[in-house]
């Protein structure tokens, strides 16, 4: 828990300082940028991020005000809302990603010897598979 909280703090601090994005902004932009058409239904985005739908809605409202995302009625389900990455959002995540990935590498991966890293990777893959199979969000997408 301490590692998770400290990593979150360090990543958020670096992103805000270097790019003006919060870690929450980055998470949303990353999720959208990895989807076909850079669009997702808000409910699917909430599942992807592991957030409550209300948190996603508030985050998207703030990001829409800054021109990073747009919200529009879903093209697949008239009852749903889609979140869409804008050109500005795409530009911001592209600019922020290199320094963010460098920080994660320096703080998390660089101190680990190769043999420890491969064991850690294997252990985390087993934990993730168990979470997908038995966790409360077992129906959540990958």
DSSP string, 32-81: HHTSGGGEEEHHHHHHHHT--HHHHHHHHHHHHHTTSEEEEE-SS-TTSE
Give the confidence band of 131 by pLDDT, cuts at 50, 70, 90: confident
Number of H helices, E strands in the chain: 6, 3
CATH, range 2-110: 1.10.10.10
Task: State the first-to-last Cα distance of the chain, in angstroms, to the nearest integer.
Answer: 22
**Burial class of 51 by CB neighbour count within 10 A (0 to 12, 13 to 18, 19+):** middle
**Res. 17: pLDDT tops 70:** yes
Element containing residue 85 per DSSP (H, E) = strand 81-85
Confidence (pLDDT) at 137? 61
Domain coordinates of the chain in residue numbers?
2-110, 112-142
Q: How far is the C-alpha of 110 from the C-alpha of 79, rounded, in Å?
A: 46
**Res. 68: pLDDT tops 60:** yes
**Res. 141: pLDDT tops 90:** no
pLDDT, tens digit, 9 for 90 and up, residues 81-120: 999 999 999 999 999 999 999 999 999 999 999 889 989 9
């Amino acid at each position: 828990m301490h590692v998770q909280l400290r990593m979150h703090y360090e990543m958020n601090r670096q992103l805000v300082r270097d790019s003006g994005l919060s870690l929450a902004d980055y998470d949303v932009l990353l999720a959208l940028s990895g989807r076909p058409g850079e669009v997702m239904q808000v409910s699917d985005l909430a599942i992807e991020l592991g957030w409550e739908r209300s948190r996603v809605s508030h985050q998207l409202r703030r990001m829409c005000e800054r021109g990073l995302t747009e919200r529009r009625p879903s093209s697949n389900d008239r009852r749903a809302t889609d979140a869409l990455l804008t050109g500005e959002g795409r530009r911001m995540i592209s600019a922020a990603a290199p320094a963010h990935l460098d920080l994660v590498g320096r703080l998390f991966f660089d101190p680990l010897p190769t043999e420890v890293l491969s064991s850690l990777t294997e252990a985390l893959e087993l934990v993730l598979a168990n979470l997908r199979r038995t966790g409360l969000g077992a129906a959540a997408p990958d």
